[in-house]
Structure 1
Amino acid sequence: LFLRGAPERHVPFGRLRSPRGSRLARGDRTRRAFVKPNPLIVAPIALVLIASVALVVTRRGGGRDALFSGTVEATEARLGFVVPGRIESVRFREGDRVKAGEVMAVLDTVEAAARMGEAAARVDAASAALDEVVRGSRPEEIQQARAARDAAEQRQTDAQQDFDRTQELFKSGAVGQQSLDKAKNALDLAKSGLKQADESLHLVEQGPRRERVAAQRAQLGTAQAAREAARAQLANTTLRAPFDGVVTVRHHEPGEIVAAGSAVFSLMNPDDRWVRIYVSESRVGAVRTGQKVGITCDTFKGRRYDGEVVYISSEAEFTPKNVQTQEERVKLVYAVKVRVADDPRFDLKPGMPADVRLEPQAQ
């Protein structure tokens, strides 16, 4: 195509011309058939290649959308009486909604009310006794003590005079030793009586001792404690809802005898539901507490519920048997708790299978 010493000329491939029917012409037509492919054949192949690459990236990359299966769970409390007794009334059935503080069941209160009345009577008696001790002696009691002291003093005066006369007679020989001893004993007895009367008057005028008041106050405190215990027993015959919830199980009926702690109701808290999923070691690094996720379920197709990651286990565990994730073969997984943040219709019920989609986090 090029002659030695002649200037070079670049001829476009499409401009080359060959004699009709030559091999070069036939080869040119063949080359043009490969250069211009059919789009109807290439387009499906390209789509298949793109889908395959996307699937590989989704499965192997960290931080991409990932779908995990789990089960809806909820906080459920087993409610019962703290005292034994016979059930008098039960006011709710399965499926009923209750408000916090509502009475759900009541025990027979005859015995509890009787114990409460007895305890209250003991408190009244102890309180009256304490008041009497604190007030001290009445005026009439003080007057009686003073009169008794005056009488004892008069007896001592008379005994002293009698002893003096007997002693003079003994000195003159008019009476013997026996008469003198008798007068001496009478004087000693009168002195002892006066001393006791003085002490009694002093106590009456002084008022009660601190020790006695303290002892009486202690008795009153014991009676009051017994009354509070009886009141608590009476209050415990009423079963109230601890939170807003839905009755899932009614375990007993009116007339049945229940032991303390035996469940009468199972109450579920609809505001505290979550989905527990298990994330493999390769993906748990992309999960964060507070991360927003999407929740779906087969029962309500087309609906998406907002969720939030509230707990990530700090320890790995072996894959539970009921896990149905895309990575079931991974042996070690981490439990993740996803709270249901938006479900006002209460569509997601405990025990219902659900899927959680972990969306990528902004870096």
Structure 2
Amino acid sequence: MTESSNESDDARKLNDSDQSLESGNTDNEQLSTDPVVNTTDIEPEQTVPSYKRNPAKTDKPAKIKKIVLALVALIVLGFIAYGLYKSNQHSEPKVVTLQGQMQMQQTSIGAKVPGRIAQILVKEGEAVTIGQQLIEMDSPEINAKINQARAGKQMAQSQLDKAENGARPQEIAQAKAAWQANKAASDLAENTYQRVNRLYEEGLMARQKRDEAYAQYQATQDQTEAARLQYDLAKEGARSEDKSAATAQVAQVDAKLEEALVAKEEANLRSPIAGIVDNVIVSAGEVIGQGVPLLTLVNTDEQWVVLNVTETHLNQFAIGQRFMGTIPALSSPEKPYTKQFTVYATSTLSDFATWRPTNNDDGFDVRTFEIKARPTSPDRRIRSGMSVVVRLNSTPVNQTQE
């Protein structure tokens, strides 16, 4: 209580001093304007200490109040503007930008047979057609195999001709003459045996002589039969089995010859597709092995774009659906280059997760799927690796209706 009373007394003293200071200032002003008066006639007053009052101190609380009110007004206006912005954001669809990459069919041309490159007939950037010769190769081993196969074919063919045509007429006549000579000898031996046998029966010839005549007769009979069979074989020709064997041997040699000719043809590489020569890897004079890539062809008609799309936007890329894409590499500041694409493939399995929640309340993983789409009309100016920008409206999954 004592402290509070002292503080109030001090405050009253300060107020009184301020009032006396103000009254003193007004009196001094009046004295300065009045005529000069003899100071001896004026009674001396008690001297009061002069305090100068700073008028800025009295205005400071008002200024602070105005500043606070202005800040409050700005905060309120900021909240209102933020609310309007969020409402417009919810009312207008959000645009999502996807970046894809163009790809083309690339074919690596390799050697099927080893050899030395004799000549390269195309250059990088040159357009080629199907069946056009690209590289000419020199392979002496293939030429040797071709000559060997041709010689084998001639030998097998002669054996087949012999089997099909049979013996020559001279051989047939010779076989017939041998048969007839043996038949005549057999008839003579038969007659001799009969005479000796009659003499033996009459007792005029020994038994030994009769047996020798009989053995000679039997021998000539066997020789005659063998000559006859040889004559029949010469007339009939080769057996069917021999003919089949000769035919198979000719076919085998033909296959070897065809294999050698195909190897020679494959040595002279030809283009399997129509496109543009992208890269020539080898040079003339190099020796290459089997299966080594020699050059790369690009089919400019086979073009497609690859996009990685999250599952939240996958419903906008169904198979057969079309969308527009911009190719910056072919665009100008005045006119962007746009193409229409048609989706033809969607990956069955997801590639990766683009966002993973930290707890169960945040939602689920957002998976990414690969989308492939072809342009409606291919453009030869498009190159593999060019970027394609696709802009689409973001539609939440929970708002889509079937």
TM-score between both structures, scaled by the size of structure 2: 0.68
Greater relative contact order structure (CA < 8 Å, 6+ sep): 1
Displacement of 1:263 in angstroms is: 0.4
Q: Is the 8 A contact 1:289 1:311 kept in 2?
A: yes
Aligned to 2:376: 341
Whether 2:94 is the aligned partner of 1:58: answer yes
What are the Cα deviations for residues 335-363 of structure 1, in whole angstroms up to 9, with x where unaligned?
100213334341x3112222234589xx9
Q: Deviations over 1:32-74 (max 9, x none)?
A: xxxxxxxxxxxx999956752356x336xxxxxx431122211
Q: Contact between 1:296 and 1:355, CA under 8 Å: does it hold in 2?
A: yes
Match of 1:9 in 2: none
Q: 1:343 to 1:147 in 2, by over 3 A?
A: closer
Q: 2:351 matched to which residue of 1?
A: 317
| 2:300–2:378 Cα contact (<8 Å) kept | no
Match of 1:90 in 2: 120
Contact 1:72 1:352 in 2 (8 A): yes
Identify which range, 265-274 or 89-98, moves more after superposition: 89-98
Q: Secondary structure at the match of 1:295?
A: strand
Q: 1:132 to 1:272 in 2, by over 3 A?
A: same
**Aligned counterpart in structure 2 of residue 353 of structure 1, from 374, 387, 394:** 387
Structure 2: how far apart are the matches of 1:132 and 1:353?
Answer: 73
Identify the residue that residue 28 of structure 2 maps to in structure 1: none
Query: Cα–Cα, structure 1 residues 359 and 241, in superposed 2: closer, same or farther, change >3 Å?
Result: farther
Match among 143, 146, 170 for residue 173 of structure 2:
143
- Quote the residue 2:138 is aligned against: 108
Relative to structure 1, the CA distance from residue 343 to residue 211 in structure 2 (aligned partners, 3 Å threshold; closer, same or farther) is closer
The answer as to whether partners of 2:116 and 2:139 remain within 8 angstroms in 1 is no
Aligned length: 305
Cα pair distance change 1:96/1:138, threshold 3 Å: same
Give the match for residue 299 of structure 1: 329
Whether the aligned pair in 2 keeps the contact of 1:280 and 1:330 (CA below 8 Å) is no
Aligned CA RMSD, in angstroms, stands at 3.0
1:260 has 2:290 as partner? yes
In the TM superposition, what are the counterparts of 1:169-180 in structure 2 within 5 Å?
169-171=199-201, 176-180=206-210
In the other structure, the counterpart of 1:210 is 240
Task: Give the match for residue 23 of structure 1.
Answer: none
- In the alignment, is the contact (CA less than 8 A) between 2:156 and 2:253 conserved in 1? yes
User: Which residue of structure 1 aligns with residue 110 of structure 2?
Assistant: 80
The one-letter code of the counterpart of 1:81 is: A
Contact 1:94 1:247 in 2 (8 A): yes
Q: Partner letter of residue 257 of structure 1?
A: V
Q: Does 1:119 align with 2:149?
A: yes
- In terms of fraction of residues, the more helix-rich structure is 2
Q: Give distance in 1, aligned partners of 2:350 and 2:250.
A: 59
> What is the CA distance between 1:188 and its match in structure 2?
1.9
Instruction: Identify if the C-alpha distance between structure 1 residues 238 and 314 changes in structure 2 by more than 3 Å, giving closer, same or farther.
Output: same
CA distance in structure 2 between the aligned counterparts of 1:50 and 1:342, rounded to whole angstroms? 42
In 1: Cα distance, 2:97 partner to 2:107 partner: 31
For the 8 Å contact 1:247–1:267, the answer to whether it is kept is yes
Structure 1 SS opposite 2:107: strand
d(CA) in 2 for partners of 1:211, 1:320: 75
Using the alignment, how far apart are the partners of 2:87 and 2:277 within structure 1?
Answer: 51
